[in-house]
């Protein structure tokens, strides 16, 4: 039984279970962060979880709300949060948090397992992804 609030498909649970420590602990920490962020976002609803390219993918359960976030262990042992590249989200994150995260290309935030990171900033990035389509429909202030 998972310690998470989300019921995950067995194939997704298997990805978490098969990851080597300390990356596995980091994957679980990021999963909890995403679940917590989603719970606090009106209109997002429960997350839908599936495997995309062999990686756990988290997206709003309702279509047209937001973009997905995938978790993956890199070859060097770091954990990546992947965002859809054509959304421009990583460019926005770089503008907002230029010294806060390590970025990879136009797709990822990289995290060293067990490291301290700015939870509020990462939560903001996840929230921006999960509400991407809603935010694009809102008129500019």
Q: What is the pLDDT of residues 16-28, one digit of tens each?
A: 999 999 999 999 9
> The domain containing residue 131 runs over which residues?
10-137
Does some domain include residue 3? no
Task: Tell the residue number behind the tokens 């997206």, with chain if given.
Answer: 59
Does some domain include residue 4? no
Does some domain include residue 5? no
Task: Tell the residue number behind the tokens 């503008």, with chain if given.
Answer: 95
Does some domain include residue 2? no
Contact 27, 4 (CB under 8 A): no
At 141 the pLDDT is: 47
Residue-averaged pLDDT of the chain: 91
Q: What is the pTM of this model?
A: 0.90
Does some domain include residue 87? yes
Query: Residue 128 sits in a domain of what CATH number?
Result: 3.90.1150.200
86-120 residue pLDDT tens: 999 999 999 999 999 999 999 999 999 999 999 99
Number of compact structural domains in the chain? 1
């Amino acid at each position: 039984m998972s310690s998470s609030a989300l019921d995950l498909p067995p194939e997704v649970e298997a990805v978490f279970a098969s990851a080597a420590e300390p990356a596995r602990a980091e994957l679980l920490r990021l999963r909890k962060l995403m679940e917590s962020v989603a719970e606090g976002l009106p209109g997002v609803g429960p997350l839908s979880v599936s495997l995309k390219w062999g990686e756990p993918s988290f997206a709003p359960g309702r279509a047209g709300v937001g973009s997905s976030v995938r978790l993956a262990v890199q070859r060097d042992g770091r954990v990546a949060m992947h965002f859809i590249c054509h959304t421009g989200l990583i460019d926005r994150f770089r503008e907002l948090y230029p010294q806060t995260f390590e970025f990879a290309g136009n797709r990822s935030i990289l995290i060293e397992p067990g490291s301290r990171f700015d939870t509020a900033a990462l939560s903001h990035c996840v929230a921006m992804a999960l509400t991407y389509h809603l935010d694009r429909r809102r008129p500019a202030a």
